[in-house]
Structure 1
Amino acid sequence: MSENVQQRVEHRHWILIACMLAMFMAAIEVTIVATAMPTIIAELGGFSQFGWVFSIYLLTQAVCVPVYGRLADLWGRKRVFFIGTALFLLGSVLCGFANSMGWLILFRAFQGLGAGAIMPLTSTIVADVYSPKERASIQGWLSSVWGVSAIIGPLTGAWIVQHFNWALIFWVNVPIGIISMLMLARWLPPHHTEHPQRLNIAGSAWLMICVSALLVALLQAEALGYWSLAFLVLAAVTGYILLRHEQRADAPLFPLAIWRSKVIVAGNAGNLIIGAAMMGISAFLPTWIQGINGGSPLQAGSTLAMMSIGWPLASTLSGHLMLRTSYRFTGQLGAFMLIVGTALLLTLRADSSVLSAGCFAFVIGTGMGLTSTTFLVSVQNSADFHIRGICTASIMFSRMLGSALGTAIMGAVLNYNLLQRLPGQQDPVQRIMSPGQRAEIADHALDQMITQIAASLHWVFAVSVLIALLSWFVARGLPKRRPE
């Protein structure tokens, strides 16, 4: 597939700023809400539904990403971006008026429906207005938004709930989204489709059912128990129906050109792996800091912040590396850093310093920044204009699916090890992480519990290493050339 020669777009810097604002708005949503959740639960109640506030947002976002990507190719980037952002802002406003946990979960679903458009379309719009050679560095700027939001989000959320009503954490998105939409309305040129097509409604429906069933089974496996098998069966059946439908459809959701390109397949496989490996850090490293080291939530958050700092720095660096070396070298260098970082986690001990854990997280973030940006740019530079939207969306979707898979796999590994090492113990991790419950455990029993939980977490980190190793082999599928 070759690059379409696009007419030079004026005011590209304003378009880039608008996209960065929109991506920041969606990226900060998860971290800012997480900080405010204790305050929200204290007022609305419904602690048992706590997990659904996050799961429903991620679920609806992931389900809609491929559909929005295809719509962007058929209807135009600007129109679909406005639809998604309007949904996101509507959900944000409604969340602030929620008077029960049930209503909050419903309105978070609306937010997710909109966020599913924002993430892939901002990257696609930027890819449209910049040349293949320029994308290498520009996508690094977009990636830096994630690092900034990961640091600003918790601090802003804590400050808002301390001085204002918690509803403001949702409403703060509204002016940012409106400014972004106004800027794109002013400077982003309209998209003209030479061969307009209708959206594949049947394919979209089967895709949504399949992805929803799969993500519910993965994200809620512990709560569902054996019922999760029923959701997996539903996902498998609808996935098979979707595959057969795509083979016969006149306008498939995923054009065959996507799967004929080794670069696009490698990019999707790479982001699936990155998403899975990332969960070994985001979900389980804070457990080590607070449970094994006896650290505070602030120390655990600071450790993760180191990964958030390494990611955007490496994303920016990846653009320069690609232009001087090749896609493959940059991707394999990132994979090497990811392997080294996850392997270093295996050296953690109960007396290891929080600084050591933070340094390891920084190395992992560096690896993720190099690999994720390289995979994205290589895919966008291999895709024609008329399928670039769905190709970019598939990259985002692969990472989300990888995160869900990684959470399920590593959670199962941890639970299995705890069951074998601490039989009969009721939720041992929660007991050592709660200061009150930890103080009630005898010293000898506490040492034994910490030792067994640490060994169980080491198995989780070992799985992260194996997943990171896969990224090295996938990166070998990238071209040995520079962006041109």
Structure 2
Amino acid sequence: MQKETKRPLVLAAVMLAMFVGAVEATIVTTAMPTIASELGGFSRYSWIFSSYLLMSTVTVLIYGKLADVFGRKPIFFVGLTIFLIGSILCGFAGSMEQLIIYRLVQGIGAGAVMPIATTIVGDIYSTEERAKIQGYLSSVWGISAVSGPVIGGLLVQYVNWQFVFWVNVPLGILAMAGIFFFLHEPKETHNASVDYRGAVLLTIALSSILVWLVEGGQAFGRFSLIGLLLLAVSAVIFFLFFRQEQLAKDPLISFSIWKNPIILYANLVSLTTGVILIGISSYLPTYVSGVMEQKAIIAGFALTAMSIGWPLASSLAGHLLIRFGPFLVSFAGGISLVVGSMMFVFMNAGLGPIWAACSSFFIGVGMGLTNTSFIVTIQGAVSRTQRGSATAANMFMKNFGNTIGASVFGAILNGTLLTYFAAEKLTYSVDNVNSLLTEESRSLIPIKELVSLQTGLENSLHWVYIAIAFFAWISLLLILRIPRGKVYEHVDN
């Protein structure tokens, strides 16, 4: 006899697992200025995010397919275990290069955490219940937003930055225990296979374009022989990947469900909002610490505002979604993204961290409204046997956006810094920005040099925010293509 799933306890375990993933972002981004200052290598700063995002982007599709084939529990355990091992290793990193490698390991496991946790909720609740339960799930972002920067700031200031990674371990183990004891899945067997060839092709294609975006203009010319070769490899492999997905018996990405226009545009907007999200979370602490000369904990609270706006808007979206449908809810989110991004464009050091926090809050509201609308709608539009893959595809687009954003914004930041130094005839390198990131290191810099470096960093980040605003406007235009109508439930649910 099939044991009954204890939904409240499973929901609590899912929320804890999502907290582990969410708090990772708020703690690490807050601590990164300190980590970069201690380990050196500011020019490799964006790789800390890119390496993690690259692996989580590729593996999210594999985990989604495996979860449909073998069940949610075993694949969730495998992914979270790898994530926790990576977290432990990150704390032992002795250089920026080691940290990048360990973040790769962490990313391999991270691909399972959010999509499978979200899929589990989709399995045990109906569409109407999911719309309401999103408020609870999104409260995770608020809790991690408030606690993450505080915990991260305290650990960096009074203990050591290594603990920002190690704090994940006991929480992750507790989440696995809750899923193990209280989630009881139906006994189903599916004659399906995992498209490993597609996974390899996608990894090569993403890696090639990532190296071109991040290292182009530094290690080699963007349009040098090496640069053009990387572009050519990426283009060819992407073509082979799309062909493979069309021929594969069980593709990583089932493009058939993308014929549904709501799923198509929801996934495209998730791509652009993923770009926006990584841009804000990666570089807002750098601006507040390096340009505004605030402590790490203040930089963290400026970023916290985004994650406070997120759950508030998500909870509201859950109530509005069934009544008004995904278009109006996501349109309101798109407007909020544009407002927040334009505030960042007009931000300067004199406006202080309050302006940065308000801008961040509007971005969070936009994220909460759009993400809630898309997840609930997509999960309601497919059967249970496709739900893991459909949820993973949406997460893939968001992660792919993160990967693109981390690379593009890293390239913009490094490129504009080098251009500024050359124009001002300054003998600095990108790594000299390390000295701006903590109060102790700033105090050692002569005032004239300090002003020059801060001007260069502020100018470079301004161009990053212009790029973020561009993607916010693209998001709004894509949302306008979403069909009007109500959320519906698939007949097989």
| TM-score normalised by length of structure 1 | 0.85
1:32 pairs with 2:27: yes
| Preserved contact between residue 64 and residue 388 of structure 2 (Cα < 8 Å) | yes
Report how far residue 449 of structure 1 moved.
7.7
- With 241-250 and 266-275 compared, the bigger mean Cα shift is at 241-250
Shift of 1:333: 0.4
1:247 Cα offset (Å)? 1.8
Residue aligning to 2:65 = 70
Residue pairs, 1:29-428, within 5 angstroms: 29-33=24-28, 52-95=47-90, 105-160=100-155, 168-193=163-188, 195-221=190-216, 223-226=218-221, 227=226, 229-414=228-413, 423=423, 424-425=425-426, 426-427=428-429
Whether the aligned pair in 2 keeps the contact of 1:335 and 1:471 (CA below 8 Å) is yes
Separation in 2, partners of 1:182, 1:106: 28
Question: What is the Cα deviation at residue 41 of structure 1?
Answer: 8.1
CA distance in 1, matches of 2:135, 2:380: 15
CA distance in 2, matches of 1:415, 1:223: 8
Question: How far, CA to CA, are the matches of 1:162 and 1:32 in structure 2?
Answer: 13
| Letter paired with 1:441 | K
Q: Deviations over 1:292-318 (max 9, x none)?
A: 544444433322121121112111111
Q: Answer yes or no: is the 8 Å Cα contact 1:378–1:478 preserved in 2.
A: no
From 8, 13, 32, the counterpart of 2:8: 13
1:326–1:252 CA distance, 2 compared to 1 (3 A): same
| Compared CA separation, residues 228 and 309, structure 1 to 2 (3 A) | farther
Going from structure 1 to structure 2, the CA distance change for 1:11 and 1:478 (only over 3 Å counts) comes to farther
Higher mean C-alpha displacement, 289-298 vs 367-376: 289-298
1:457 CA displacement = 4.3
Q: 1:214 to 1:134 in 2, by over 3 A?
A: farther
- Tell me how far 1:450 sits from its aligned partner: 6.4
* 2:448 corresponding residue in structure 1: 441
Alpha-carbon deviation of 1:182? Answer: 2.1
- Report how far residue 286 of structure 1 moved: 3.9
| Structure 2 residues without counterparts, runs of 5 or longer | 489-493
Q: 1:308 to 1:178 in 2, by over 3 A?
A: same
Q: Counterparts of 1:241 and 1:458 in 2: how far apart (Å)?
A: 37
Residue 141 of structure 1, CA deviation: 2.5
Superposition deviation, residue 463 in structure 1 = 2.8
- Matched with 2:491 is none
Q: CA deviation at 1:30?
A: 4.0
1:468 aligns with one of 472, 476, 482: 472
Aligned residues: 475
1: distance between equivalents of 2:360 and 2:160? Answer: 34
Contact 1:263 1:382 survives alignment (8 Å): no
- Cα gap change, 1:79 to 1:455, in 2 (>3 Å): closer
Q: Is the 8 A contact 1:78 1:191 kept in 2?
A: no
**What amino acid is aligned across from residue 309 of structure 2 in structure 1?**
G
Structure 2 CA distance for partners of 1:81 and 1:363, relative to 1, 3 Å: same
Write the distance in 2 (CA, Å) between the matches of 1:41 and 1:470: 32
- Secondary structure of 2:194's counterpart equals coil
Match of 1:4 in 2: none
**Distance across 1 between alignment mates of 2:414 and 2:46:** 18
1:353 partner SS: helix
Closer/same/farther in 2, CA of residues 421 and 98 from structure 1, 3 Å limit: closer
Cα distance in 2 for residues equivalent to 1:99 and 1:273: 34
With over 3 angstroms needed to count, the CA separation of the structure-2 counterparts of 1:124 and 1:229, relative to structure 1, is farther
C-alpha RMSD of matched pairs (Å): 3.5
Q: Specify whether residues 298 and 165 from structure 1 end up closer, same or farther in structure 2 by C-alpha distance, changes over 3 A only.
A: closer
State the AA in 1 paired with 2:405. Answer: G
Residue identity opposite 2:481 in structure 1: G
Contact (CA 8 Å) 1:345, 1:357: kept in 2 or not? yes
- 1: CA distance between counterparts of 2:378 and 2:100? 35
| Contact kept in structure 2, 1:218 and 1:404, CA below 8 Å | no
- What is the CA–CA distance in structure 1 between the aligned matches of 2:328 and 2:480, rounded to whole Å? 9
**Alpha-carbon shift at residue 254 of structure 1 (Å):** 1.7
Q: Distance in 1 between matches of 2:294 and 2:182?
A: 49
Question: 1:266 deviation in Å?
Answer: 0.9
**Cα distance in 2 between the residues matched to 1:66 and 1:233:** 24
TM-score (norm 2): 0.84
In the TM superposition, residue 367 of structure 1 has moved relative to its aligned partner by: 1.3
Tell me, in whole angstroms, the C-alpha distance in 2 between the residues paired with 1:49 and 1:410.
13
